[in-house]
Amino acid sequence: MTTEQAAVLEKKDGVAVITLNRPEVKNCCNNAMATALQDIMDEIDEDRNCFVAVIHGAGGNFSTGADLKEAASGIKRTRLRRGGFGCFVHPLRKPLIAAVEGYAVGGGFELCLTADMVVAAANAKFGLPEVRHNLVAVGGGLFRLPKKIPCNIAFEMALTGKIYDADFLRPHGILNRVVEPGTTLESAMELARSLLVNGPTALAASKRIMSKAFEWQELEAWENQMPIAQVALNSKDRVEGLKAFAAKRAPVWSGE
The CA distance from 219 to 73, in Å, is 51
What backbone phi and psi angles, to 5 degrees, belong to 249?
-130, 165
Please report the sign of the dihedral spanned by the C-alpha atoms of residue 206, residue 208, residue 214, residue 220. negative
- Of 130, 180, 223, 240, the active-site residue reads 130
110 is catalytic: yes
Catalytic hit among 4, 46, 110, 180? 110
What is the Cα Rg of the chain in Å?
Answer: 19
Is residue 156 part of the annotated active site? The answer reads no
Whole-number Å distance between alpha carbons of 215 and 184: 32
- Other CB atoms within a 10 A radius of the CB of residue 251 amount to 17
CA pair distance 38, 120, nearest whole angstrom:
24
The DSSP result for 45-75, as a single string, is: HH-TT--EEEEEEGGG--B--B-HHHHHTTP
Cα 207-212-216 angle, rounded to 5 deg: 150
Which residues pair with residue 165 across a beta bridge? Answer: 125
Q: Which residues are catalytic?
A: 110, 130
